[in-house]
Structure 1
Amino acid sequence: MSRLYLKNNSNIEHIKFSKTTQHAEFSNELRSKVREYFTTHNTHRYANANMVFKTIFMISLFLIPLIVLCLGLVSSTPMLFVMYMISGLGMTGIGMGVMHDALHGSYSTKTNINKWVGYSINLIGANASVWKIQHNVLHHTYTNIEDSDDDLNMPYFLRFSPNTKYYGIHKFQHIYVWFFYGLLTLIWVSIKDFIRIMRYHKLGFFKKRHEVKIELAKAVLLKVMYYGYSLIIPIIMLPIAPWVIVVAFLSMHFMTGLFISVVFQTAHIMTSNEFPNPDEHGMIDDDWSVHQLATTSNYAPKSRLLSWFIGGLNFQIEHHLLPNVCHVHYKKLSVIVSETALKYDIPYHSQRTFVSAISDHFRMLRSLGQVA
């Protein structure tokens, strides 16, 4: 896929990263040390037995409660909500700790295994092809670059970059943003794939008209399938008022959307992170690896439970520098990355806890809402 971005919704330009000698040395030494780590420990960069267990666990956590609901085995409202919430936890685990690695190609040496495990995203009504463009290409390549990183492409009432046009309503975004975070997965499995397919067609990723039609058809099919077994069949089968089932379903998505949003946003929309603009020639001042360190932050590096559940995404720096490495290795590799960054006097941003990361994210949102 070509390295392109949309500028002012009209002109497509190229973005390039500088290659200074010092930064090239950092990148080369880091890659060398990572290779040495895997050789010394006689292991590989892919998933291990623990990752396979997590895959089975998260998919089961998502599907089993929905199967119970589809079979009409629940008759009480409290148990209905419990089933949906458990399924929501599974959805979160699939999104952050299963399909994420697979669609990066870091789950297995075998392409087909990566592909089929990555298709677990389809279980939750999303399109794997669209996600790979949005995340692997646009977000990972152009992190925190306005008009290029699609994670910054938000409705006008949300301002996630100092380079985004300011509106007065942004003054309150640190208060109301949490509600919209909760809508993330619901919007995703409803309309966002369709919006992105058309946007990526304009960007040149789906170049041919038949490619667009195929992706749109896939999106429709996946969403009909998802809504069918997660909502419609339970409404038909359960002896509970349909509106109660809908509320429970929406509650599941709100919980899941809020948690996933916070996990990802506390890695990039932080007071310590940079939001660089390319110059008139499309050049970014930093080498790509250094750019990732400047625009990304870790948090809660000592929390094993959180790290396990969110697929190592608290080690976002390692993930961005080494996206082809499975997250089960991030904790140990973080020592190598931080020490190498220190050697070359390159900032390595990390928050001590998840709570402190959320607090810093809150401050950044408030700051972005005050500066015109």
Structure 2
Amino acid sequence: MLMLFFGPLIMLNTGIITNAFSLFGLYILSGLGMAGIGMGVMHDAIHGSFSKKRKVNQWMGYTMNLIGANASVWKIQHNVLHHTYTNISESDDDINAPFFLRFSPHAKRYWLHRFQHIYIWFFYSLSTISWITSKDFVRVKRYKKMGFFKGKNEYKNTIFEISAWKLLYYSYTLILPLIMVPLAWWIILLAFISMHMVTGILISIVFQTAHVMPSADFPLPDKNGLIANNWSVHQLATTSNYSPRSKSFSWLIGGLNYQIEHHLFPNICHTHYNKLSSIVATTAQEYGIPYLIKKSFWAAIIDHIKMLRSLGRIEAVHQK
């Protein structure tokens, strides 16, 4: 996946590419590699499950920075907020969306949400462009207010780190191609955007079809801020698997089709999820706990579309 991302960029930066068709093709290939790094490399590494060695996980986690985002911010967004408060409105940052998108039945509904199942694909495709530009800066500021980055100069150092990594990222993905490729700047920029559109839509669909589903729960905390179920049961109720029989598909997306097992055992490498799934499914059945699963990725996408359409039409439940 690292070679699939860097290989096309190296070719672009040599200046041997002289036509738009090859330019777009190489950028799109690089986008596939970027998605692969996001799902199959940095994801395990930042969870500490890529390797038994902490330093290896730390260094492989920096692949997140190499694709334009930031590992420190992602760790809070994903490891802390998403994995702890899965599908809990206003706490799980994966379902905290801009006003024009609605991922929870407890979020405020606007009239334009009636069409979100149609226009959402455009915004999914732009999701990583948001990441490489403003998203990390917005979130690091918000996370500071939430009590993260408390250490001396930690917040300033993180801002500097984000800026430096992004400058490095832009240098080999856009600035050097603009210098080396003998084509109009706007063609190169469009090809760069196409790379991110491929990455954005792939990553968004893989992650969102695991939680924003008709069968998934969206529990609300009580007046004391507590959820009724214990953490393990909560993960089973809010998470869904899909396409469990396709080993090749599972390899391509870093085992994220086994989201239930990932949420229960985030510190275990995704290569073990296939074998773990039968144990988890049997145990869930034994105790009468839901084990949500779709036979194919396509079936999961269809259900996700149905859920988006439903969320665009139902009023908020217990809206604050």
Fold-level similarity (TM above 0.5): yes
1:84 matched to 2:4? no
Identical residues among aligned pairs (%): 60
1:166 matched to 2:93? no
DSSP-derived class of the 1:284 partner = coil
- May I ask how many residue pairs the two structures share in their alignment? 315
Partner of 2:318: none
- Choose which of 96, 110, 120 in structure 2 pairs with 1:153: 96
1:208 is displaced (CA, Å) by: 4.5
User: Letter of the aligned partner of 1:180 in structure 2?
Assistant: F
1:212 is displaced (CA, Å) by: 1.2
DSSP-derived class of the 1:148 partner = coil
User: Letter of the aligned partner of 1:239 in structure 2?
Assistant: P
1:126 matched to 2:69? yes
Deviations 1:79-107 (A, max 9, x none): 11111011111101100000100110111
DSSP-derived class of the 1:350 partner = strand
- Choose which of 240, 254, 267 in structure 1 pairs with 2:210: 267
Deviations 1:193-221 (A, max 9, x none): 00010010010011246211111111111
What CA distance in whole angstroms lies between the structure 2 residues aligned with 1:261 and 1:287?
28
TM-score with structure 2 length normalisation? Answer: 0.97
List 4+ stretches of structure 1 deviating above 3 A: none
1:99 matched to 2:42? yes
What CA distance in whole angstroms lies between the structure 1 residues aligned with 2:58 and 2:150?
22
DSSP-derived class of the 1:298 partner = strand
What CA distance in whole angstroms lies between the structure 1 residues aligned with 2:23 and 2:272?
37
Deviations 1:33-81 (A, max 9, x none): xxxxxxxxxxxxxxxxxxxxxxxxx111111111111111211111111
Deviations 1:246-277 (A, max 9, x none): 11111111111011100000000000000000
- Choose which of 271, 275, 291 in structure 2 pairs with 1:332: 275
What CA distance in whole angstroms lies between the structure 2 residues aligned with 1:176 and 1:65?
30
DSSP-derived class of the 2:18 partner = coil
What CA distance in whole angstroms lies between the structure 2 residues aligned with 1:185 and 1:305?
25
Deviations 1:2-29 (A, max 9, x none): xxxxxxxxxxxxxxxxxxxxxxxxxxxx
Instruction: Indicate the RMSD between aligned Cα atoms, in angstroms.
Output: 0.8
What CA distance in whole angstroms lies between the structure 1 residues aligned with 2:264 and 2:307?
24
1:301 matched to 2:244? yes
What CA distance in whole angstroms lies between the structure 2 residues aligned with 1:220 and 1:214?
10
1:222 matched to 2:165? yes
Partner of 1:39: none
Partner of 1:52: none
1:62 matched to 2:5? yes
1:317 matched to 2:260? yes
Please list every run of 5 or more consecutive structure 2 residues that lacks an aligned counterpart in the other structure. Answer: 316-320
DSSP-derived class of the 2:257 partner = coil
Partner of 1:279: 222
Tell me which moved more, 189-198 or 199-208: 199-208
What CA distance in whole angstroms lies between the structure 2 residues aligned with 1:109 and 1:325?
10
User: Letter of the aligned partner of 2:10 in structure 1?
Assistant: I
- Choose which of 289, 292, 295 in structure 1 pairs with 2:232: 289
1:135 matched to 2:67? no
TM-score with structure 1 length normalisation? Answer: 0.84
What CA distance in whole angstroms lies between the structure 2 residues aligned with 1:206 and 1:117?
22
Partner of 1:232: 175
Partner of 1:14: none
1:204 matched to 2:147? yes
Partner of 2:310: 367
User: Letter of the aligned partner of 1:185 in structure 2?
Assistant: T
| 1:346-361 to 2 correspondences below 5 Å | 346-361=289-304
What CA distance in whole angstroms lies between the structure 1 residues aligned with 2:112 and 2:191?
31
